[in-house]
Amino acid sequence: MFTMHNCKSFKPSININSKVLILGSMPGVKSLEEQEYYAHPQNRFWKVMAHICNVQNLQYLDYPQKLEILLDNNIALWDTIKTCNRSGSLDSDIQNDTPNNIKSLLKKFPNIKVICLNGNKAYSAFKKYFPDLFEKYNCYKMPSTSPANAKYTLEKLIQEWNFIKNSN
C-alpha cells in the first residue's frame, strides 16, 4: 500500500525571451526528491529536448545547464498543477489538485505564444482550469515523455515534439 503524499510543484523556469511554455502535470517522486524537472532516468523529456535544442547528451548535463539551454532556446517549463495528493508517480493517482497561476505567468511573460501540455493529465487539468486560454494561445496536447507512455518510442516522441523548433 502506497502512502499518500502532499506534492507541490516547482517554480517555473522562464525568462522574458521564452516563446514556448511546456507544462507537465506534477513532478513524479524522483523529480520531487531531486527537486528537478524530469529527474527520473527513464523519462525521455531531456532526450527529446536534446534533439530540439541540438545539444547532444543534454540529459547528462547538470540541472542548471539543462534549464539554461532550454531558456536559450526560448523554452520555459512549469506544471499545470500546483499542489495535489498522490501515492507514487502516476498521474492517474493525482487527487485534490489545485492549479498553478498560469494566467498570471502568461501576463508577466507576453512572448509566450505556444503552450505544450506534456501528457493527458497536464492537458485535462489545463482544460479544466484554463479553458479560455485555448482561444488565446496555440495549445498542443503532446504525448507524454514519461516511461509510463511505453507505446511511444523515443523516435516517435521526437517526431511529435519536433514542431517546437519552428515555434520559436
Residue 52, all three cell numbers: 530540439
Active site residue 111: no
Half-sphere exposure of 43 (CA within 13 A, CB side): 24
* Cβ pair 103, 133 in contact under 8 A: yes
State how far Cα 137 lies from the chain centre.
16
Q: Which residues contact 164 (CB under 8 A, 6 or more apart)?
A: 20, 52, 75, 114, 116
In sequence order, what E strands does 87-126 have? 95-99, 114-118
How big is the chain by its Cα radius of gyration, in Å? 15
Segment (H or E) for 65: helix 63-72
Q: Which amino acid is residue 87, in one-letter code?
A: S
Place of cell 511554455: 21
Catalytic, out of 17, 43, 120, 149: 43
**Which residues are known to be catalytic?**
43
